[in-house]
Structure 1
Amino acid sequence: MLEDLTIKDFALIDQDYLEFTKGFTVLSGETGAGKSILIGALSFLLGGKADVNQIRAGKKEASVSGTFLLPKGLSVRSDIPEDDEPRNALEWLNVHGIEIENDRVLLRRIIRDTGKAGAWINDTPVTRGDLAQFSSFLVDIHGQHEHQSLMKVSEHRKFLDARAGITADVDAFTAKYAVLVSKRKQLAQYNLSDSERLRKLDMMTFAVQEIGEAKLKANEDTELEEEQARLSSYEKIYSDVDSIEQMLSNEESGVVGLLKKIRRDSMHVSELDKSLSKLDERLESAFYELSDISAEFSDYKNKLVYDPNRLQTVEDRLSLIYNLKKKYASSVNAPLSEVFAYFDEAQKYIEENGDGNNKKDALTAEIKVLEKEILAQAEKLSAARKSTASILNNEVDQILAKLGMKGTTFAVQINQKAGTDLEQLCGPYGKDDIEFMISANPGNPPLPLAKIASGGELSRVMLALKTIFAQTDSVETLIFDEIDTGIGGEVAVAVGAHIKNLSKNRQIFCITHLASIAVYADNQIKIEKSVSGEITSSNVYPVEGEARVAEIARMLSGDSDTSQSLEHARSLLAKYSGGV
């Protein structure tokens, strides 16, 4: 749930801070007042497109931040498969190592006039993609083609499964299907011709023997190369070290000897002027440090020995490693770890293929059993989906008729994955491809949901689906824009009633021009444009009591001053939202 929103220098908004509660909140205002700017700011916060044109004229930076209370009852799986996506906001935060306090998160985003943008979840910087992915668990914005989970075909199967109550069964199916895929890969290895299998087995056996006899050590190649460089450059190293030692320790011209003399004078002068004592201490420190360095260079030189036999041993060992990399790594410059990896892979192949047909026959039998079990489970899942789809079609059609879309037909399209008479193909979620379809006019064939052109129609379809899926969808905050396009009268009243009903379990924001929808709201926010000198601003503020009566009256007749419109507004509020 969105608890508060802070907007600064975004489009026409100078600075606004708004607090929100649960239930149904209406955003109203005259045409051109900037209602879309408020939604734009929220969309920006949730990972929408960032553009320097969003920055208020004359400012360097626009920023939007919001506090969200996470839904209750979210759980986190202890072991999430690498190729699986987080299932809720709390799981997403856990995967990305972001901690929360009091079940709340702070989202913040900025755009600077240089084009540079930034985003944070709590104090953690995130990418725009991360922000959009995380916020999709928190908010759906309907009316624009963004933040619409129901517009993603991949989500349709999840919604239908949740409605059918088979989500846990599908998860179990997916896990068993992964086992089948793994065993099929193993069988593919066994199905190589015997000659090919034996040839590869011999090759892997030789590799294991050759690598094993080498008795390689981790990072051995790097260490040997360093030693080779040291041994082959013996004369140069000795000459340079000897020169360094002479320059440091020569009694007459060495740095240490000269520094010793300087120290003697420094000690004397610092006794005469105490302000020089710190400089004397630094000289003393430098003297001891250089004396120690000189001693270590001397010790290194005394231990330096040219050993041609060791050099030959090192070069022979490097040659062996070079040949092993040439055979078993991606290149001779590859890390030695690739040779170890090949060794492990070869050992695994030998273990899996060493006893040939015995394992092949056993694996084939296991796969047949798994395939039979998986197909049986897929049939059950498909039957549950088809049964639920029929119910869902009727429910959506009934709601759409009340929302001014009589004659519109909703259909859950379920197609079986391609197969043959001998084999029914399944995927990780069963044998069905699922997509929500819609026919906006009688007699027209159903089209994919994404093909609906009208923002108002799309929003009402989403409203119908959200009403039905309210108990299974974890997204708590819904924003409906353009939902009143092309409707009025009884249909608008029905839309308001549906939103009100949906807001019992969700936080709903709705931009509307219709008083018959606005009167159902628990809260109302007005957006108003003002001009001061040459500066235009959009001001956002809640309206309550008589101020709300006046706003409803304006929405009814365009005039908030007449007694008739005020009385009408007051009566509608009393009827649909318990008065003012």
Structure 2
Amino acid sequence: MLEELNVRNYALIDNLSVSFEGGLNILTGETGAGKSIIVGALSFLLGAKAETSVIRTGSEEASVSAVVSIREDNRDALDWLASRDIAAEDGRIIVRRNIKTSGRSSIYIQDAPLSRNDLEQCMGLLFDLHGQHSHESLLHKEIHRKYLDRFAGLENEAAQFNGIFLNLADKKRTLETSAANERDRDARLEILRYAIEEIDKAAVKNGESRELEAESKRLASFEKLAGQVNSAAAALFEDEPSVLSLTRRVRTAMDNAAAIDGELSAMQQRTENLYYEAEDLAEEFRSYRDALRYEPGRLEEVEERLALLYRLRKKYGGAASGSGIEEDGILAYRNAAEAEIDALSNAGENRGKLGAEIALLEKDLAGRASALGAKRRSAAAKLGDRISTILKSLGMPNARFEVGVNNRGQSAEPQKTSMVIGPWGAEDVEFLISANAGEPLKDLSRIASGGELSRVMLAIKTALTGEHTGAVSDSKRISDSQETLVFDEIDTGIGGEVALAVGDYLRKIGGIKQIFCVTHLASIAVRADNHLRVEKKTGGGRTTTVISVLSADTLRGEIARMLAGDAGGAAALAHADELLKKYKK
């Protein structure tokens, strides 16, 4: 349940903080006051895509946060959080999302950073938002199956079925690929074996090209190198005076001076260290110079080896860097080739095992499809009757609603039925309706009235909660996990007695769910458990959207405004009092 919503710098909202209650929360206000902005901010928090255009002019970022409580029996939401090491505190989580003018966004549940997809998944287990046009989702048949499965409590079973179906499809693709590869197996094996032989013959060692490049550079400039080495050796220890002889003289002089003046002992130690360092350097340099040899033909050998490594890299992979060619790609190719040879050599045996696995999965899937289909057909009749009953109370007395569950296909032989299994079962689910007496059942897309679609959506939601029965225990038994339902202007295209019926049903659903409803109809607004008014205010040259919870006195004026456009008129107030007395709890 949404307990608190905080919005900053979102569209016309400067800084808004509001608390909500359970039951039916009604949002009203003049057209353009910003009711859709409140719903938009909530939608943003639930994971909807957002553009930087929602950031209030003059601000660097927009942010929305909320305190959300989770029922102990909402295992779907609690398990989702636990799988990501997120713990609710006292049954509550804090959700935060912001977007900057740069387009960068951050999302947190508690202190855990999440992706937008994660946010959408989690909030989808807690909220169900229907915007001004979202009832049009009813026109998409894939949603019909989801609603039926939710009503029948088959969501987990359908998800398991889908997982097996996808696994089966993956194994079939693997088998098909294996069969296709068989035709080219011999040619492929020959290529792979030649590659391994060529790499092994070259005795490639990772990193050797770096060493060879350094040697190539040294050999190519050997004469210049030798000259510089000899010059350095002369200065270091051959000439007179040399660096070594000079440091020896300095050391001796400092030893004698320090014996006279103790203040020179520190410098004497440093000159002694200098002498030993010069002596070590001279010894190492003698060894280097003595080992320096020019081998005729070695440069050619090095360059040929480098050329070979380069060709192998071009053929089998590797990475060029500023310090040379890496051989790890060549060696990785060799290992992969060896593994592929092993797989191809055992392809026949593997295909046999894969075929057996596929046969078992197909049998399992067929059994599951049959069982799932039977449960759906049984539940479809109940759901159709339940929605038809609700629609009659929502101003559609002659409506007839049916949930069609049809086989996905038939065989060419009329006497036999072939099971055609899809990702979610062996049948298609479609909602059909006859809105008027004497009219045949048609798919929902043939409904012209937006008001009728809104009522169908409300009837489905009511049926899913079971609240129309008036039995709380029954409603809890079949209720979906979403604890909060949001309806943005569900009153589109309705009025009169129909509006009263819609209000009655919203209040009934509010008995077990938290409901948010944006409405322009007073006959719906008077059913609110918590009534909030959205207004625009101007100050300092800026327009701001604000929201306030109405008291008993201010509620009269708001209902009067909705009835007659006059919040202070005596007739409108009298009418408002009459509605509040009749329909307010």
Please say which of residues 65-74 and 24-33 is displaced more in the overlay: 65-74
C-alpha distance in 1 between matches for 2:510 and 2:404: 29
C-alpha distance in 2 between matches for 1:417 and 1:249: 93
Letter in 2 for 1:552: I
Alignment-derived partner of residue 511 in structure 1: 518
Bigger Rg, which one: 2
Alignment-derived partner of residue 471 in structure 2: none
Give, in angstroms, the shift of residue 22 of structure 1: 1.8
Q: Which of 494, 499, 502 does residue 495 from structure 1 map onto? A: 502
Structure 1: 5+ residue stretches without partners: 76-87, 265-283
Q: Which of 351, 359, 367 does residue 376 from structure 1 map onto? A: 367
Letter in 2 for 1:392: L
SS in 2 for 1:473: coil
Contact 1:208/1:347, CA 8 A, preserved across alignment? no
Letter in 1 for 2:537: S
Letter in 2 for 1:110: I
1:314-361 alpha-carbon deviations (Å, 9 max, x no partner): 9769947955983699999993434423322332332342x5xxx766
C-alpha distance in 2 between matches for 1:211 and 1:433: 57
Contact 2:372/2:425, CA 8 A, preserved across alignment? yes
Q: Which of 329, 351, 372 does residue 335 from structure 1 map onto? A: 329
C-alpha distance in 1 between matches for 2:356 and 2:335: 34
Q: 1:349 to 1:436 in 2, by over 3 A?
A: farther
C-alpha distance in 1 between matches for 2:37 and 2:537: 14
Contact 2:146/2:155, CA 8 A, preserved across alignment? yes
1:387-429 alpha-carbon deviations (Å, 9 max, x no partner): 2223222222222232234455544344433464596432332
- The answer as to 2:453 corresponding to 1:446 is no
Q: 1:67 to 1:362 in 2, by over 3 A?
A: closer
Alignment-derived partner of residue 163 in structure 1: 151
Alignment-derived partner of residue 105 in structure 1: 94
Q: How does 1:42-441 map to 2 (within 5 A)?
A: 42-48=42-48, 50-51=50-51, 53-57=53-57, 59=59, 61-75=61-75, 89=77, 101-102=89-90, 103-112=92-101, 116-122=103-109, 123=111, 131-145=119-133, 153-178=141-166, 180-181=168-169, 183-185=171-173, 187-188=175-176, 196=183, 199=186, 203=190, 206=193, 210=197, 220-221=205-206, 223-235=207-219, 239=225, 319=308, 323=312, 326=315, 335-336=329-330, 337-353=332-348, 364=355, 367-418=358-409, 420=411, 424-436=419-431
**Percent of aligned pairs sharing the same letter:** 35
Q: 1:554 to 1:341 in 2, by over 3 A?
A: same
C-alpha distance in 1 between matches for 2:421 and 2:171: 15
1:76-135 alpha-carbon deviations (Å, 9 max, x no partner): xxxxxxxxxxxx5556656777666554032222353xx635232245665655554554
C-alpha distance in 2 between matches for 1:387 and 1:381: 10
C-alpha distance in 1 between matches for 2:433 and 2:279: 86
Give, in angstroms, the shift of residue 523 of structure 1: 0.6
Letter in 2 for 1:498: Y
Q: 1:321 to 1:519 in 2, by over 3 A?
A: same
C-alpha distance in 2 between matches for 1:575 and 1:67: 34
Q: 1:232 to 1:244 in 2, by over 3 A?
A: same
Contact 1:231/1:306, CA 8 A, preserved across alignment? no
Contact 1:107/1:121, CA 8 A, preserved across alignment? yes
SS in 2 for 1:412: strand
SS in 2 for 1:120: strand
Give, in angstroms, the shift of residue 215 of structure 1: 11
Give, in angstroms, the shift of residue 508 of structure 1: 0.8
Q: 1:100 to 1:120 in 2, by over 3 A?
A: farther
Name the count of aligned residue pairs.
Answer: 527
- The answer as to 2:25 corresponding to 1:8 is no
Contact 2:63/2:96, CA 8 A, preserved across alignment? no
Give, in angstroms, the shift of residue 366 of structure 1: 5.6
C-alpha distance in 2 between matches for 1:5 and 1:484: 24
Alignment-derived partner of residue 40 in structure 1: 40
Letter in 2 for 1:518: A
Contact 1:550/1:561, CA 8 A, preserved across alignment? yes
Give, in angstroms, the shift of residue 27 of structure 1: 0.6
1:255-282 alpha-carbon deviations (Å, 9 max, x no partner): xx9xx99xx9xxxxxxxxxxxxxxxxxx
Structure 2: 5+ residue stretches without partners: 255-268, 466-477
Contact 1:404/1:487, CA 8 A, preserved across alignment? no
- The answer as to 2:15 corresponding to 1:26 is no
Contact 1:512/1:518, CA 8 A, preserved across alignment? yes
Give, in angstroms, the shift of residue 2 of structure 1: 1.9
Alignment-derived partner of residue 271 in structure 1: none
1:27-46 alpha-carbon deviations (Å, 9 max, x no partner): 11233433223223323333
Q: 1:553 to 1:318 in 2, by over 3 A?
A: same
1:14-64 alpha-carbon deviations (Å, 9 max, x no partner): 322101122210011233433223223323333445455544455554433
Contact 2:531/2:550, CA 8 A, preserved across alignment? yes
Q: 1:360 to 1:226 in 2, by over 3 A?
A: closer
SS in 2 for 1:233: helix
Normalised by the length of structure 2, the TM-score is 0.71
Letter in 2 for 1:348: A
Alignment-derived partner of residue 478 in structure 1: 485
C-alpha distance in 1 between matches for 2:138 and 2:412: 34
Q: 1:520 to 1:193 in 2, by over 3 A?
A: closer
C-alpha distance in 1 between matches for 2:177 and 2:284: 60
1:142-172 alpha-carbon deviations (Å, 9 max, x no partner): 2334699767654443332232233343344
SS in 2 for 1:505: coil
SS in 1 for 2:329: coil
Contact 2:449/2:493, CA 8 A, preserved across alignment? no
Please say which of residues 439-448 and 468-477 is displaced more in the overlay: 439-448
Letter in 1 for 2:68: F
Give, in angstroms, the shift of residue 486 of structure 1: 2.9
Normalised by the length of structure 1, the TM-score is 0.72
C-alpha distance in 2 between matches for 1:211 and 1:452: 71
SS in 2 for 1:430: coil
Contact 1:24/1:509, CA 8 A, preserved across alignment? yes
